[in-house]
A and B are shown apart, each in its own frame.
Chain A
Amino acid sequence: MSNAQPSQPVPAVVNLEVDSSCRFPLLFMFLCAACWLVIGSAFALISSIKFHSPSFLADSPWLTYGRVRPAYLNCLLYGFGLQTGLGVALWLLARLGRTPLAQPWLVVVGTLLWNAGVKLGIFGILSGDSTGFEGLEMPGYAAWIIMLGYLVIGLSGVLTFHQRRERPLFVSQWLILAALFWFPWIYATAELLLVAFPVRGAAQVAICGYYQASLGMTWLPLAGLAAIFYFIPRLTRAELHSRYLALFAFWVLILFGGWTGIANSAPLPAWMPALSTVATMLMAVPLVAVALNVHRTLAGKWSMVAANPPLQFIVVGSIAFLLAGLMKIACVAIDTTCPVGLTWLTPAQAQLNAYGFFALVMFGAVYTILPQVTRVEFPSTRLVRAHFRLALLGLLLTVAPLAMAGIVEARRLPDPGIAFMAVVKSTLPFLRASTMGDLLLALGHVLFLVNIAGWALRFYRPRVAAAYAAATADLSALEAKS
């Protein structure tokens, strides 16, 4: 292993080769992911408006809260999150290995499968075929297609890694490789033991908790940190402060991340929530390691952040990673004295982790990768900046109100003197305020889609026009003759 990021100059030819091999598959993946974000925002808005008026769209079983809300979360997680994460991971594997993407057609086929699976899954949730397991609502018939899609995309990733020309490994490659293998493992476990051959009784609760933790506290951090550790040094033209700190964070994450998913109130033997609490406390270690590493890498370079929109996304995402982790630890720590487990603090934390950390880092990564692979500059820096502002404001306006609703709930629910409906009523203003945040996020997602589509158009339009002209050259020659 090398001690630092490959820093010797890379021949431009190699980079060109890498980028052109990634171009179509990645544009395709990111475009699909952006579409899922926009669709997901629509679901998020519908479910949020229901807190203003419960009877909004209530006469359609397809759009009842209990179906729309999981549909939104699944769009965000599987439609956008995992798909973009995979795309960024593939590019990093190719770039860091200085080798073209292996079998790009595999990625395209895999992406087609993946998106077909997610489409079928969201359709299944809305039509009432949800599995009932949080984070895993997409029905079994969609899960097979999703799994297959992942394996096909992942195969290309593993092949790319295998044929790398730069033998020493950078930290990001470790993280990505672990993530590539980790998802099929947890997804197959959960799908087989919960949906295909369900285990008996409350063991399902433990397995579902394991899956949620493994995805939210291991897979997302692995993929997100891989991007953070690569892009922050690269965009600031620095070296990663410490490779050892990063590897240390990696080991702690994969050792303890999967243990963090069992809630204190879960109807399970007491040792499981207790172990889960300990593991959550241990997550402080990678948090500090990552925060220190990012902070030191950025030392003296903060002025570069404001000037570079993709870097803004990634730095804010790193801060959200720290905050989301601290929030989770704090919630678990005070849960024994003041029960916060079943309040709005849980979704607020999940939003901060999945959106604030992961999605923002992915936006930054996509905005850095696309100009490279298309060799086309930003269609509009203004739009990217606008997307950043909308995403940041939307994030604040979703996470803060939900967290405040959770705090109100946690303070008032333990007092049996306060009627339950009074508690619900006191959380409503916050839930209604979060609709504003959802709206801003939705606008941001539209901009994201417009930006990516802009790149695709800018790159392909002249080529399509040229191809068309070439194809019709004979015809026009004929016409000219006659």
Chain B
Amino acid sequence: MNHGPLIFLAAFFALAGSWSGFVLAPQLQVGQLQQTNTLGGGATYPQARSGLAQQGLQVYRANGCATCHSQQLRQSGTLCDVVLTDAGTNQPALIAALLTLKCGTVPTEAEQRAVIPANTNLPAAIQTWSEADAKQMLARLPQPVRQGMTKEQADAAAKTLTAAGAKAQIWIVPVGPDLARGWGRRRTVAEDFLFDNPVMPGSQRIGPDLANVGARLPDVSWHLRHLYAPRLTEPASTMPPYRFLFEQRKLGPAASPDALALPAPWAPPPDYGIIPKPEATALAAYLASLRAEAPLFVAPLTLPVASAAPAKPPAP
């Protein structure tokens, strides 16, 4: 057989296939992304990080933080919450509707988790909801009536409420183990990295995911203390201390405002202070700037109104 050139061409196209699939096509689709608008608010997203945070991104890169920390949240799906926003005028009908909704149907998985603490063997169908509870709810609107429903169930529930003369909204709630852990509100999408270079989504979770660490832990001084002595903020931490990002300096008569507040085993000798170097300040600013939680068309969610559902305690 003498098909040398033919075979060479075939091999060339075989290899070029994956190139056009995962180099050319992503560049044409993802590489051309522009800023977009958030859902609801209409704000421009994403905003470029501050100059300090951009420097911090380079410190993150130089020290290989992405070796241990991912910045990619997964989401297994979206569910709907039905939220009562306005009681209307026909209170008896509304209370009847609320009671049907609350007690007449099987609670969803999310509701079971909320009502029954984990590791107890209470029957799942327990619904202790009375008229008094309903009245209490009407006093503090908007309030979620049902949580974790499918779109169809939510539509039906909202219809029951509107039939009673009330106004109801359907809120979109992304769900998944990562989100249940309190690591974020929605999955991470390409838009979140638009202004970052290099993009470091990481591939392992030797430490917690950082896609939203700025929303979880907005305090820059917490990050500085954590970088200096991880076990100060998290006693079992396996993160190496980054003491080389700080320097021990003799303090003058007035204490430096930059010096870290450190308790006994980590505290420097008297008259000395632990001062973050510019790299540490930049890295902490970058970490505090990590907030990938704006509602977007590609990853929709409804942000709860401040007065509504009780705020979740921030997870570490």
Task: Report A's interface with B, CB cutoff 8 A.
Answer: 1, 50-51, 54-56, 58-61, 64-67, 69-70, 128-134, 137, 174, 178, 181-182, 185, 189, 193-194, 198-207, 209-210, 213-214, 218, 251, 254-259, 261-269, 272, 275-276, 339, 342-344, 346-347, 409, 413-417, 420-421, 424-425, 428
Contact = CB atoms under 8 A, between A and B. Distances in A.
A39 B17 CA distance: 37
A58 B236 contact: no
Contact of B242 (A64, A266, A343): A64
B180 interface: yes
B112 interface: no
Question: Which of A182, A265, A425: most chain B Cβ within 10 A?
Answer: A265
Contacts of B119: 417
- Please list the 3 inter-chain residue pairs (A to B) with the smallest Cβ-Cβ separation, ordered nearest first: A66-B64, A258-B18, A206-B26
A134 B203 contact: yes
Contacts of B239: 54
Contact of B67 (A69, A210, A251): A69
Contacts of A272: 22, 26
Contact of A424 (B72, B195, B206, B241): B206
A263 B238 contact: no
B11 A67 contact: no
Contacts of A70: 64, 67
Contacts of B236: 421, 424-425
B305 interface: no
Given A66-B63, A210-B23, A202 B199 contact: yes
Given A66-B66, A255-B18, 4 more contacts: A67-B63, A130-B61, A202-B201, A268-B190
Contacts of A344: 204
B163 interface: no
Contact of B33 (A130, A201, A276, A347): A201
Judged by DSSP, the binding face of B is loop
Given A132-B66, A206-B26, A416 B177 contact: yes
B31 A199 contact: yes
A61 B198 contact: no
Interface of B: 1, 7, 11, 14-15, 17-19, 21-23, 26-27, 29-33, 60-68, 70, 72-74, 118-119, 177, 180-182, 187-208, 230, 234, 236-244, 316
A113 B189 CA distance: 40
Question: Which of A174, A251, A275, A416: most chain B Cβ within 10 A?
Answer: A416
A217 to B, nearest CB: 10
Contacts of A255: 14, 17-18
B193 A267 contact: yes
Nearest to A56: B240
A54 B230 contact: yes
A263 B203 CA distance: 9
A267 to B, nearest CB: 4
Contacts of B14: 251, 254-255
A412 to B, nearest CB: 10
Contacts of B190: 201-203, 205, 267-269
Contacts of B191: 201-202
B18 A214 contact: yes
A207 B26 contact: yes
Contacts of A213: 18, 22
A339 B74 contact: yes
Contact of B30 (A137, A206, A414): A206
Given A70-B64, A189-B19, A202 B30 contact: yes
A201 B18 contact: no
Contact of B64 (A67, A189, A254): A67
Contacts of B30: 201-203, 206, 268-269
Nearest to B238: A54
Given A182-B15, A210-B19, A346-B204, A200 B31 contact: yes
A178 B198 contact: no
Nearest to B299: A267
Contacts of A258: 15, 17-19, 21-22
Nearest to B64: A66
Question: Which of B189, B193, B195, B230: most chain A Cβ within 10 A?
Answer: B193
B67 A54 contact: no
A59 B243 contact: yes
A181 B117 CA distance: 60
23 contacts: A1-B1, A54-B238, A55-B240, A59-B243, A65-B240, A67-B64, A132-B60, A132-B200, A137-B64, A193-B27, A199-B31, A201-B190, A202-B193, A203-B31, A206-B23, A213-B22, A262-B22, A268-B26, A272-B22, A342-B205, A343-B205, A409-B205, A424-B238
A251 B12 CA distance: 11
B68 A66 contact: yes
Nearest to A134: B203
A225 to B, nearest CB: 15
A201 B199 contact: yes
A200 B201 contact: no
Nearest to B26: A206
Contact of B177 (A203, A343, A414): A414
A268 B238 CA distance: 30
Nearest to A276: B22
Nearest to B181: A416
